Structure 1
């Protein structure tokens, strides 16, 4: 829900920083790897209850994740880079929730509910994205077509910041965010039903091929 306005605000400074990295001959996959390692460190910090470290490392992970895309577009984006970036993101998103459940026992059921909501929303996203692309939906330049919803990357950043600042309320935060992610999953399923339920228009050249001997 907040990703589009956040991207408009953050895109210019991130692109400028990516320009500096390009001149320093930094590779996008290197930024992705370092960002993932910082994210793993954030999960470890959260799991051991070092919340201020978790907060700093989580924001560092998000900053690096915001840099590898602009850098890749400058140096030549690849499908491998987009694939690894998405895998890295999903692993840290889930790992941080597991870490919160480890550190705050009373939040474990809520964290399980949040992971289930992630699973449903992520499955709908990963299945729907290529199907929409095949039907001609336009993306925003990223490796995959992002299907929006109530809970996107920006909302995830804010939820995890809340975990770090208010760990004593981790269960409440997890339940609320699980509800938001669950609604996002429902949005994506509803979109899939509406769009994929329509007959797919066959391109003209396909008809020509069918008529060829």
Structure 2
């Protein structure tokens, strides 16, 4: 929901840093994989009982997620780069809740399963819409220049990262927060389905 408003603020900074990294010979795919590695390290740190310490690799991971696209735009973009980025993002988004389930399987298991199910549904609605948008040559840069068509929603990247930060700061509240955030993810996915019906129903496929 907030992503479209903060992109004009953060994109110039990221693009400037991306140009510096590109001149140094850093490849966008390497930045993507570094970000994924940091995200998985954050999940492991949570699972090992230190969610507060997970904040640093978590936030650095998301910085890398913003920088990889900036590096690509400053050097060479590729369809594979965009593919690798979205796959890495989805793995990261699933790994952090998994870390909290590992931290306390008995207390967090049910809420974590519900949260991951909501992520699965929300992600499917996002990717399905992106496929149809590509098929009909739809374009948008409201959430930055992306390889995929990014639809808006109640919960987007900013809200999810803020949620993860809150979980790391107050891990004892994981279960109620996960139930609430998961419910909002289901609302987001359902609203995207309604949007797809309005946009694509009656549109003849090729």
TM-score for the superposition, normalised by structure 2: 0.94
Q: 2:139 aligns to what?
A: 138
CA contact (8 A) 1:135 1:200 kept: no
- Structure 1: gaps spanning 5 or more residues: 203-213
Q: Which residue, 164, 168, 172 being the options, matches 1:164?
A: 168
String of CA shifts for 1:97-127, please: whole Å, max 9, x gaps: 1111111331221111111111111111111
What's the C-alpha RMSD, in Å, of the aligned pairs?
1.4
- Where 1:51 maps in the other structure, the secondary structure is coil
- Where 2:54 maps in the other structure, the secondary structure is helix
Q: Which shows bigger deviation, 20-29 or 132-141?
A: 132-141
Q: CA deviation at 1:201?
A: 8.6
Matched, 1:184 2:185: no
TM alignment of 1:27-46, pairs within 5 A? 27-46=27-46
- Where 1:34 maps in the other structure, the secondary structure is helix
Q: CA deviation at 1:199?
A: 3.0
CA distance in 1 between partners of 2:74 and 2:182 (Å): 36
Q: 2:66 aligns to what?
A: 66
- Structure 2: gaps spanning 5 or more residues: none
Q: Which residue, 192, 199, 203 being the options, matches 1:195?
A: 199
Q: 1:152 aligns to what?
A: 156
CA distance in 1 between partners of 2:200 and 2:117 (Å): 24
Give aligned pairs, total. Answer: 202
TM-score for the superposition, normalised by structure 1: 0.91
Q: CA deviation at 1:136?
A: 3.4
